[in-house]
Chains A and B, each alone.
Chain A
Amino acid sequence: MSLLDRILLLDIFAGLGVTARHLARPADTVEYPEKAKEPSERFRGMFLLDEERCIKCTLCAIECPINIIYIDWHSEKNAEGKAEKKLDRFDLDMKRCMFCGLCEEACPTNPRSIWLATKTYELGTYERNESLYLDIRKLTQWDGNVKPFPTADPAKAPVNPAKEK
């Protein structure tokens, strides 16, 4: 900075100018409880379970490092007379989940049967066990804010580099 710049306090005026320009800008604040921002397309919120795709292998429950996935199933004859696994229970103790995503990685089906897919991020509850204990109903149908699975077409599906090796 030259001496003249310092005498004229150019840096001071430049700083004041920056804040003055900000004064004219509308606030970025979103008044949360009334309005909320829509998460981006790539947002990975809460778990979603697709009961149709799930083969009841329980790999996700086995892989879970803190054992918070509880799966019960029984065998049943279907219309063609073949044995078919039916889910009795698929529970996820959300309040202990650390979102490591290992269950999603362990899932053998393609597309995945369980994956972090919803745009839900409001996890607050008034009771400890109220809504953070997810059962099948909650896992399969969130409150309408489930985004479509982006790679439903296998031809367009991105190749998992880990699996390709």
Chain B
Amino acid sequence: MSQSLLYNVLIPVTKAVVCFLVVALVAGVLTLIERRVLAALQIRKGPNRVGWNGALQWLADVVKLITKEDHVPSKAEKVVHLLAPLLVMAPALTVFAVLPFGPDFSVTLPWIGKVTTPVHAAADVNVALLLLLAVSSIGVYGIILGGWGSNSKYALVGGLRSAAQLISYEVPMGFAVVAAILMANSLSLVAIIEAQRKAGVWFVFPGLIAFFCYFVSGVAETNRIPFDLPEAESELVAGFHTEYSGFRWAIFFLSEYANMIVISTVATTLFFGGWLRPFPNVAWLGFLDVVPPMAWLLLKVCLFLFVYIWFRGTFPRYRFDQLMALGWKALLPISLGNLVLVAFAALWGAAGLRVLGAVLTVAFAGGLLWARLRPARPRGTTSMAGRPAEVRV
């Protein structure tokens, strides 16, 4: 077997298949984990009947979804209605091609010999971040087409909301990503991770504000609570996928979870050093290298996924005007201002990043500490006290 065939066809195809299967599996298991964690947050138990303590619940759900009727509404735009889930899923899975899961590794395969390849689905693209933003934005087409093609008012409103929301939050997300690019001086995700090793500091410290903007926008991009207006149950039945059932609905569901994994992985890569261990330059922490790089990445991604679920268990849904106000009036100016800040620090090189990181971390931690330690507001000074007596309830 020639080397080019091996490296250009066999390995990429294998990686793609493995990646797809793993993502589908993780998305399935994640639904179960989400339900259990959510239940724990709400002092419930969650699904615990199927399999050992509910461990097979997700499998039962998958079987149920596959065997359900694939219903198409009678006056729906059939082609669009059938195409929309694929348009959502394809970008969500395509993005995995450029996500770096670990450094190069070598395996010795039977018949073939030693193979060295990076742990990417495809390759280290030098404009990976651009590709990632561009491809993941296509997903909104699937959502709006699914909403429009269903011939349902709920679905249409859900689709339109989703379009408005995704377009609004692309902007602060883009600025937050630009901050990371400025710090790393590269668009390649691998180069960004290596830059964090060189700078000796995870970009979350100098990019604290950028990370915050990125993650909030990311939650909004994936239509998750508290930004789940496109599928707001109490208002729109199920939003853009109201008219979907069975496996097509499952595809929407799967792509939502795939998008969550993408957002978490990119957040890890840009701001938490990807597969690097904590403090990659501190020598005496070298014992942490026992944990393989990919495990570090998975650990961080899992933490982000937990935060997603934690958010879901904590926050109520935004009103639409609040959503737009947060996106345009808060996140956009904050991320732009942060860009200026980071640009000046990056001009100074790694030292500048460290100083900015230290300043931001100390300011944030100090502020939280002060808020914790300050004297409690004296009683009777609530907003009720100032009001005239007849208004009091």
Q: Could you tell me which A residues sit within 8 Å of B by CB distance?
A: 4-5, 7-8, 10, 12-13, 15-16, 18-20, 22-23, 25-29, 31
Contact = CB atoms under 8 A, between A and B. Distances in A.
B43 A27 contact: yes
Given A15-B315, A16-B314, A19-B314, A8 B371 contact: yes
A20 B310 contact: yes
A23 B40 contact: yes
A13 B364 CA distance: 13
Main secondary structure of the interface of A (DSSP, over half): helix
A22 B43 contact: yes
A22 B42 contact: yes
Nearest to A26: B43
A22 B40 CA distance: 7
Contacts, number: 43
18 contacts: A5-B371, A8-B371, A10-B368, A10-B371, A13-B368, A19-B41, A19-B310, A19-B314, A20-B310, A22-B41, A23-B37, A27-B40, A27-B43, A27-B45, A28-B43, A29-B44, A29-B45, A31-B45
B118 to A, nearest CB: 36
A89 B44 CA distance: 47
Contacts of A16: 310-311, 314
Contacts of A22: 40-43
Interface in B330-371: 364, 367-368, 371
Nearest to B371: A10
Contacts of B37: 23
B313 interface: yes
A19 B313 contact: yes
Given A16-B310, A23-B40, A27-B40, A8 B45 contact: no
A13 B43 CA distance: 20
What 9 A-B pairs come out closest when comparing CB atoms?
Answer: A29-B45, A19-B314, A27-B45, A8-B367, A19-B41, A28-B43, A15-B314, A19-B313, A23-B40
Interface residues of B, number: 17
Contacts of A20: 310
Contact of A28 (B44, B364, B371): B44
Nearest to A30: B45
A36 to B, nearest CB: 15
Given A18-B314, A22-B41, A28-B43, 18 more contacts: A4-B367, A8-B368, A10-B371, A12-B315, A15-B314, A19-B310, A19-B314, A22-B40, A22-B42, A23-B37, A23-B40, A25-B43, A27-B40, A27-B43, A27-B45, A29-B43, A29-B45, A31-B45
Contacts of A25: 43
Nearest to A16: B314
A13 B371 CA distance: 11
B306 to A, nearest CB: 10
B57 to A, nearest CB: 15
A29 B315 CA distance: 22
Interface string B10-40: 0000000000000000000000000001011
A27 to B, nearest CB: 5
Contacts of B42: 22
Contacts of B364: 8
Contacts of A13: 368
Contacts of A5: 371
A2 to B, nearest CB: 9
Nearest to B314: A19
Contacts of A15: 314-315
Contacts of B371: 4-5, 8, 10
Given A8-B368, A10-B371, A13-B368, A23 B41 contact: yes
Nearest to B334: A7
B362 to A, nearest CB: 13
B381 to A, nearest CB: 13
By CB atoms of chain B within 10 A, which of A4, A20, A27 has the most?
A: A27
Contacts of B45: 27, 29, 31
A17 B106 CA distance: 44
B367 to A, nearest CB: 5
